[in-house]
């Protein structure tokens, strides 16, 4: 299948919110949506970085995005952000759950959850639920949740993983957070039925700041530089890494429950349909995760 950003249809009249849009895949996703005439909100934790990103996006696209302050590791911030969007917008056509952290040293979110699962999954679960009234006002609402091929490295997830009760292994936790993204995406598709398209994507191996962020948090600057240099040598660009997200966000005929990744061995190239692991497609596990997540966040979309 051949696809490029030139195939994105005109997005005029479509309102999108992209999390983690100050750099990397989120920035590239927001940029192409703006270039194709969507109205875009970029959600980010750091106001200064958000302002710098907005300026860069406006210069590159000729269309200025709006800024939304959002910390996915703080459920009160998620609630405040959703309330702010509701004050200024009457609907939301597209939500791209893109932001994430990877292989961080052990940390807790503001609400006491393990940082990676708390940010990558619980924060987006709560955001999607709180924005659901606005999504329901759109004619053809769509939610794209960004996962990773790293979901293949784990065999399951438990309620105890949300708080790392049984110990913490950074790469295992990252894999579980990406598994949670897919379980959530597919369960949202089942629960929403024809009322909403819920799709997933993964960027393959893309060059972003994500690879170096974990070592930086641990104070390992040399390791961060090595990771960054190695990634730049072998990975595809962040812009190419955003193609699966953009394909999932804009292909008119995309079916709910679709999962999209790079075409060449799942690591790089033009997007094509991808297959989640059997664990990620387990509806019983997805229902359990949904219940745990609703209990943890205090909010439920369906």
Exactly one of 27, 174, 205, 247 is catalytic; name it: 174
Average pLDDT over the chain reads: 92
Tokens 């040293």 locate to 105
CA–CA dist 291, 268 (Å, integer): 35
Exactly one of 147, 173, 189, 245 is catalytic; name it: 147
Q: pLDDT for 40-91, tens place per residue?
A: 999 999 999 999 999 999 999 999 999 999 999 999 999 999 999 999 999 9
For residue 293, with 0-12 CB atoms within 10 Å meaning exposed, 13-18 middle and 19 or more buried, which class applies?
A: buried
- 201 to 53, 216, 220: CA distances (angstroms): 23, 26, 30
Flag whether pLDDT at 112 surpasses 70: yes
CATH of the domain at 23: 3.40.50.720
- Indicate whether 224 belongs to any domain: yes
Q: pLDDT for 166-202, tens place per residue?
A: 999 999 999 999 999 999 999 999 999 999 999 999 9
- Indicate whether 290 belongs to any domain: yes
Flag whether pLDDT at 231 surpasses 90: no
- Indicate whether 127 belongs to any domain: yes
Exactly one of 77, 173, 178, 205 is catalytic; name it: 178
Dihedral (CA of 215, 205, 17, 188) sign: negative
How much of the chain, in percent, has pLDDT values that exceed 90? 85
Q: Is 174 a catalytic residue?
A: yes
Q: Is 106 a catalytic residue?
A: no
- Indicate whether 274 belongs to any domain: yes
Tell me the pLDDT band of 224, cut-offs 50, 70 and 90.
very low
- Indicate whether 301 belongs to any domain: no
pTM: 0.91
Task: Work out how many domains the chain is built from and give that number.
Answer: 1
Q: pLDDT for 121-154, tens place per residue?
A: 999 999 999 999 999 999 999 999 999 999 999 9
Q: pLDDT for 242-278, tens place per residue?
A: 999 999 999 999 999 999 999 866 677 889 999 999 9
- DSSP-H helix ranges across the chain: 24-35, 47-61, 75-88, 115-117, 124-135, 170-192, 210-217, 221-234, 238-241, 243-250, 283-297
CA–CA dist 138, 188 (Å, integer): 17
How many CA atoms lie within 13 Å of 9's alpha carbon, on the beta-carbon side? 9
Tell me the pairing of strands 94-97 and 66-69: unpaired
CA–CA dist 179, 207 (Å, integer): 21
Q: Is 12 a catalytic residue?
A: no
- Indicate whether 302 belongs to any domain: no
What range does the domain containing 141 cover?
5-296
- Indicate whether 99 belongs to any domain: yes
């Amino acid at each position: 299948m051949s696809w490029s950003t030139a195939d994105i249809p005109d997005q005029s009249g479509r309102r999108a919110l992209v999390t983690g849009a100050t750099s990397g895949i989120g920035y590239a996703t927001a940029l192409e949506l703006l270039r194709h005439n969507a109205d875009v909100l970029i959600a980010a934790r750091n106001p200064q970085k958000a302002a710098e990103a907005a300026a860069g996006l406006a210069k590159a696209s000729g269309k200025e995005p709006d800024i939304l302050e959002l910390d996915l590791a703080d459920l009160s911030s998620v609630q405040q952000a959703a309330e702010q969007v509701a004050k200024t917008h009457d609907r939301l056509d597209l939500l791209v759950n893109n932001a994430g952290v990877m292989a961080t040293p052990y940390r807790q979110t503001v609400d006491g959850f393990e940082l990676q699962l708390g940010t990558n999954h619980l924060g987006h679960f709560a955001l999607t639920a709180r924005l659901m009234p606005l999504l329901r006002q759109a004619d053809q609402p769509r939610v794209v949740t960004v996962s990773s091929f790293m979901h293949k490295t784990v065999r399951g997830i438990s309620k105890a993983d949300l708080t790392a009760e049984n110990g913490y292994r950074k790469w295992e936790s990252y894999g579980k957070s990406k598994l949670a993204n897919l379980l959530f995406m597919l369960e949202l598709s089942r629960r929403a039925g024809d009322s909403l398209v819920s799709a997933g994507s993964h960027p393959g191996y893309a060059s972003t700041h994500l690879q170096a962020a974990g070592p930086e948090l641990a104070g390992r600057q040399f390791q961060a530089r090595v990771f960054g240099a190695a990634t730049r040598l072998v990975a595809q660009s962040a812009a190419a890494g955003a193609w699966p997200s953009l394909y999932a966000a804009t292909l008119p005929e995309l079916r709910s429950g679709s999962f999209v990744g790079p075409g060449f061995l799942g690591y790089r190239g033009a997007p094509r349909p991808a297959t989640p692991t059997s664990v990620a497609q387990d509806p019983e596990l997805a229902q359990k995760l949904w219940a745990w997540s609703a209990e943890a966040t205090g909010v439920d979309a369906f």
